Every structure is written in C-alpha cells, then in structure tokens.
Amino acid sequence: MAACGGGSSPEDAAPAETQTVLDTAPTDPAPSTTVPPPAPPRPKPLSGLPAFTAGYDGWRKLNRKPIPPRQSADAHSGTKNVYASKKLRPSGSFPNGTILVKEAVRPGRDFIGLIAIMRKERGLDRDHNDWRFVEYTRDSAGARFAETASGSVCWTCHMGAQQTDYVWIYTLGLSR
C-alpha cells in the first residue's frame, strides 16, 4: 500500500548511489597467516676469540688492498687486512668503544693464523689513549686461537704510531 503519493517504502525511495557511513567503512583485513622470515643468524666469533669480535669481517675495512708482509719489523708477519667497528673521527682518533681487528694469513699458509685486536675503553690506559692490545694465533685452520701477546709487548711497538692514535695502518699510509 502506498502512502501519500508513492507506491514504495522509504527504504526503496533512496537513490541507488547513496550509501551510509557504515556501508563505506573499511573492514578489518583478515589476520595474516604469513609468518615473518626468521632473523639471520648472529655471527659467531672464530674459535678462541672474544665474543665482541664476531662478524668483524663485515666491519669497515681500513686498508685499500691486502697488506703484504714487510721485509723487516713486521710483528704480525703475513698478508693482512684491518677492520674497524667504528669510524675514525675527523680529529684523527677513534671513539671509545672502537674495536680494531687485524687478521693475517701467515706466509706459506692458506688460512687466517693471526688475529691482533685493539679495543678502546674509556679510562683503561690513559698513557696509551685507552687502547687494550691482544694478539691471538693458531697453527691450523680448524684450531682454536690462543692468546700469544698482550699489554706492553704490543704497545711498546705501537708507541711508534702514537701520532695516529697508535694505529700503524695510518702511520704507514696503508689506509683507504
């Protein structure tokens, strides 16, 4: 039955293109069933080295090309690469918390047999710009690294690089 001039109900009277807010509100998407990819495994340090060295070969490489053995006065005999956990500051020194790792493949070998570490810790050793020096070596690729030198044995030599924050690669002009 029509009321007052029409033959349809009020719901039928609205134009087809008119929609209510409820009709146009976005609906919640269905919950995702996709599982995020697993996080990449954290690097592990080489056997026998401190945990803070893990992944050092992914840090900033300081030398342009591998450093060949020197004929004389080469305490870390071998072909070397040097990595830093932090950038050198414009002042020419590394910030506290920096870790430098020098790896060396000894002459006649095909594996990394030496790791020399410099770690800068505020207040550690003010006389040597707060650097701690430790050297590790091993005799075969599968062997565990063992500490072979530290402290004064190391910094006595590095005193010659005091003007470049005790880092020889800069004193010798071998950096990038």
Question: Domains of the chain (ranges plus CATH)?
Answer: 51-171 (3.50.70.20)
For 22-78, the pLDDT digits (tens) are 555 556 666 667 888 888 888 999 999 999 999 999 999 999 999 998 877 677 889
- At 68, list the tokens: 């060949």
Sheet order of strands, 60-61 included: 60-61, 79-84, 99-105, 112-120, 131-137, 146-150
pLDDT above 90 covers a percentage of the chain that reads: 52
Mean predicted confidence (pLDDT) in 130-151 = 96
Angstrom distance (rounded) from CA 107 to CA 66: 13
Angstrom distance (rounded) from CA 138 to CA 151: 19
User: What pLDDT shows up at residue 66?
Assistant: 95
Average pLDDT, the chain: 85
The predicted model scores a pTM of 0.75
Half-sphere exposure of 115 (CA within 13 A, CB side): 25
